[in-house]
């Protein structure tokens, strides 16, 4: 066997191995592209373009979450300032009147701040008193019934 024949056979063997490698790599590339199309979709964009668009959508979501959190914070402040704790104590302010016609009403927010309204009912008159409560304390003295209304409102 001559040297040129041996070189030709070696070249054919090498070409066959290269052809098999090309076919194998082509199939492998087709599988990678199919997997990529599942992630990217049917568009003609590559993974880098997809990653950039995905990051933009994530940034939009972060902005939306920040807006929702800010709105929730505003709602929390409004709820904290609203009347959430109430109680009514009915009683007879004077002996012999009966029917528990007098009452003290406590209207407090979550910081224990608000108002106590008391209506004293007598036989010939009615009086209404309003006292402010700041963090559970009144600027003026509270009657026992008003204090009881405040304490009941704070326990609800």
The structure tokens 């939009």 sit at 60
* pTM: predicted TM-score of the whole model, two decimal places: 0.54
The answer, yes or no, to whether residue 71 has pLDDT greater than 80, is: yes
Mean pLDDT across 112-137: 89
Token readout for 60 is 């939009």
Nearest to 104 by CA among 122, 121, 118: 118
The dihedrals phi and psi of 69, each to the nearest 5 degrees, come to -65, -40
What local confidence, expressed as pLDDT, does residue 148 receive? 93
The answer, yes or no, to whether residue 98 has pLDDT greater than 80, is: no
Q: Measured between alpha carbons, how far is 103 from 97 in angstroms, rounded to an integer? A: 13
């Amino acid at each position: 066997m001559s040297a040129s024949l041996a070189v030709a056979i070696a070249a054919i063997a090498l070409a066959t191995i290269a052809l098999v490698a090309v076919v194998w790599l082509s199939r492998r590339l087709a599988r990678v592209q199919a997997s990529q199309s599942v992630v990217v979709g049917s568009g003609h964009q590559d993974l880098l373009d997809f990653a950039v668009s995905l990051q933009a959508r994530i940034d939009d979501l972060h902005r939306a979450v920040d807006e929702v959190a800010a709105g929730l914070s505003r709602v929390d402040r409004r709820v904290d300032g609203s009347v959430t704790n109430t109680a009514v104590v009915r009683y007879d302010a004077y002996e012999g009147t009966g029917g528990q016609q007098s009452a003290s009403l406590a209207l407090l927010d979550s910081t224990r701040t608000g108002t106590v309204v008391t209506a004293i009912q007598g036989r010939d008159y009615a009086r209404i008193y309003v006292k402010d409560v700041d963090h559970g304390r009144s600027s003026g003295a509270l009657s026992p019934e008003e204090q009881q209304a405040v304490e009941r409102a704070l326990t609800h």
